[in-house]
Amino acid sequence: MRHNKGFNHLGRKAAHRNAMLSNMASSLILHKRITTTVAKAKALRMYVEPLITKSKVDSTHSRRVVFSYLQNKESVSELFRDVAAKVGTRPGGYTRILKTGIRKGDSAEMCIIELVDYNETYSQVKEGAKKTTRRRRGGSSKAQAETAQEVVVEEPKAEVSETSTEVSTDTAEENKEE
């Protein structure tokens, strides 16, 4: 039974699946971008992101752990040398999946999975783009503080006018009683 087994088996036995993901992860690290199906890309993302997180700490132990997954010396050295230096400040989300359409032969959904920091197109847009703030329904804390100040300023004026009318009605009643 497959009760609560939360990953895609990809129609393969465990040894075949692990070998395939290891080869795909090595190719992704070496080439920075590969084309594959969406299901394999999602499985690869779950496989490779913990390895990239491990590579941030360059120790013998972490190198051996990553090598046990990848089984490729070149990809391990590339991961610890170049990729880890580039993603050192990023807290996660090292890969991006871009859907490209369907494969003609079997209508499988195809995509490109790539390392985020190696795509110059997106990184140039981010650097050149100016940071803007969004207006939200609740507003920012600055906007809330300003509106709170405005409300406070308006309320005493309204109270003064109400009290002045009350005073005038009170004095009118007193005048009638006399």
Domain boundaries, the chain: 14-120, 139-178
Give the pLDDT score at 159.
47
Residues 87 and 76 sit within 8 Å (Cβ to Cβ)? no
Q: What is the pLDDT of residues 25-65, one digit of tens each?
A: 999 999 999 999 999 999 999 999 999 999 999 999 999 99
Q: Which residue did the predictor score with more confidence, 122 or 56?
A: 56
3 vs 88: CA distance, rounded Å: 37
161 pLDDT above the threshold of 50 = no
Give the pLDDT score at 98.
96
Give the pLDDT score at 134.
73
**Chain centroid to CA 175:** 72
91 pLDDT above the threshold of 60 = yes
Give the pLDDT score at 127.
53
Its pTM surpasses 0.85: no
Average pLDDT over residues 131-146: 63
Q: Quickly state the pLDDT bin for 7 (edges 50, 70, 90).
A: confident
Q: Where are the alpha helices (DSSP H) in 55-140?
A: 60-70, 73-78, 84-86, 120-128
CATH classification for the domain delimited by 14-120, as one of 3.20.20.140, 3.40.50.450, 3.40.470.10, 3.90.1030.10: 3.90.1030.10
Q: Quickly state the pLDDT bin for 171 (edges 50, 70, 90).
A: low
SS3 10: coil
8 vs 17: CA distance, rounded Å: 10
Poorest-confidence range of 56-70, 71-85, 124-138? 124-138
CA 100, 109, 112 angle in degrees (round to 5)? 40
Q: Quickly state the pLDDT bin for 142 (edges 50, 70, 90).
A: low
- Indicate the DSSP class of residue 83: I
153 pLDDT above the threshold of 50 = no
